[in-house]
Chains A and B, each alone.
Chain A
Amino acid sequence: MIIARRRALTMGGSVFAALAAPAILRAAPLQVVKMQGSARGERVWFNPLGVAIPADSTVRFVNHDPGNGHTATAYHPDNFDRVRRIPQAAAPWDSDFLLPDESFEVTFTVPGVYDYYCIPHEMAAMVGRIVVGTPLDTGWEGPSTDTTDVSPEVLATLPTVEEIHARGRIEQKDGA
């Protein structure tokens, strides 16, 4: 199950979210994934590109790009009829467009590999991968093997599960 919510970055919103979340989620770590872009929009990227998290963790996607709108959208048939690249037991998410400083949160409970993209920037390979848990976890589903629905550039951008597990976070400082 995935719990998602969208909000602007405000003190009130943060306090409300903390109070509204069940105790188990308050205790779970929060990971931030930044949506970033170069000054003139030549490059756009998620930072980190890949991240490993334990089950029941929440990821907050935040638009840090002052000149662009971005989305964090799971590869899933419910989202524009895309081929599924998240665990079958997980629910898909789509943040819709986030303007600068807006954010969107997703809580991941199903172990496995989740690939997502930015709707207007998929052609620029603005994609990311979240690895929840490890292959030893019950219900784990590894990365999608589909190569028909995404471009070679997208496939080349996604880090392997092994790389993500080894480093924890794979940062992208300038989209390179």
Chain B
Amino acid sequence: MFKPMILSATLLATSATFAFAEGHAAMLQSPPGEPFVQVSDVLPLPAFIPGLGTLFVSPDTLPAGPFLAYDHDGMLSATVYMTPLDELKNGVSYDDLAVGTHEVIAVDVYYNAGHPGVDVPHAHIVLYHDAEAKARLAK
């Protein structure tokens, strides 16, 4: 009886891992597909935001994200989170957020006064996925 339970758990884990990896592979190149939408298609923001690139997000995950940030060639370069400061102050936490891909070489955290979509002061947390990512997203 114990063995079948272990087997089932192993199969479930294998299946979940496979689906997760498959999902990440699809995210590496723009567009990432459903449920993600291009931010500039639904909000009055430029298609390529200097410093952040071309952003995609699943609306269900707003405001925190993850936002998938692509360079001009459509390569996934960063994963971005946006966390309103007042919400953090009031005890809201954003836990177990997904990442675009597991390789992260640097993280920038900085203040943003607001923009369409997240129009309150918030923090940008930017996970860069390769050494040249920041330069490619700069402009």
- The stretch of A10-18, A65-73, A164-172 in contact with B is A65-73
Given contacts A69-B115, A119-B119, A120-B119, contact A40 B110 (CB under 8 A): yes
What separation, in Å, do the CA atoms of A112 and B138 have in the docked complex? 43
How many Å lie between the Cα of A147 and that of B115 in the bound state? 25
B115–A68 contact, CB under 8 A?
Answer: yes
Select from chain B the residue with minimum beta-carbon distance to A39: B51
B112 with A123: CB separation less than 8 A: no
In Å, the complex CA distance between A97 and B119 comes to 13
B119 touches A67 (CB 8 A): no
Residue from the list A40, A97, A99, A123 in contact with B114, Cβ < 8 A? A123
- The verdict on A124 contacting B116 (CB below 8 Å), with A66-B50, A68-B45, A97-B44 known, is no
Q: In the bound complex, do residue A44 and residue B46 qualify as a contact, i.e. CB atoms below 8 Å apart?
A: no
Kindly list chain A residues whose C-beta atoms are within 8 Å of the C-beta of B51: 39-40, 67
**Which residues from chain B sit less than 8 Å from chain A, CB to CB?**
43-46, 49-52, 110-116, 119-121, 124, 139
Q: Does A142 contact B (CB under 8 A)?
A: no
Scan A81-123; emit 1 where CB is below 8 A from any B CB, else 0: 0000000000000000111100000000000000000011101
Contact A41 B112 (CB under 8 A): yes
User: Which of B43, B110, B121 is close to A124, meaning CB atoms less than 8 Å apart?
Assistant: B121
Residue from A42, A119, A121 within 8 A of B110 (CB atoms): A42
Instruction: Please pick, from B45, B52, B111, B119, the residue contacting A121 in the complex, using a CB distance under 8 A.
Output: B119
A-B contact sample (4 more), CB < 8 A, given A42-B111, A66-B49, A121-B114? A41-B115, A66-B46, A123-B119, A123-B121
Residue from the list A41, A98, A99 in contact with B113, Cβ < 8 A: A41
Minimum Cβ distance to chain B for residue A139 (Å): 35
A30 CB to nearest chain B CB (Å)? 25
Measured in the bound complex, the distance between the Cα atoms of B49 and A133 in whole Å is 39
Q: Which residues of B contact A39 (CB under 8 A)?
A: 50-51
Interface check A43, CB cutoff 8 A: yes
A136 to chain B, nearest CB (A): 38
CA distance A73 to B91 in the complex (A): 33
Q: In the complex, what residues of B have CB within 8 A of residue A97's CB?
A: 44, 116
| CA distance in complex: A41, B119 (Å) | 12
Q: Point out the residues of chain A lying under 8 angstroms from B119, CB to CB.
A: 119-121, 123
Residues from chain B with Cβ under 8 Å of A124 in the complex:
113-114, 121
CA A148 to CA B58, docked complex, whole Å: 37
A41 to B113, CA, bound (A): 6
Q: Which residues of A contact B113 (CB under 8 A)?
A: 37, 41-44, 121, 123-124, 126
Shortest CB distance A40–B (Å): 5
Contact string, A13-47, partner B, CB cutoff 8 A, digits 1/0? 00000000000000000000000010111111000
- Residues of chain B within 8 A of A120, CB atoms compared: 114-116, 119
Contact of A67 among B44, B50, B111 (CB under 8 A): B50
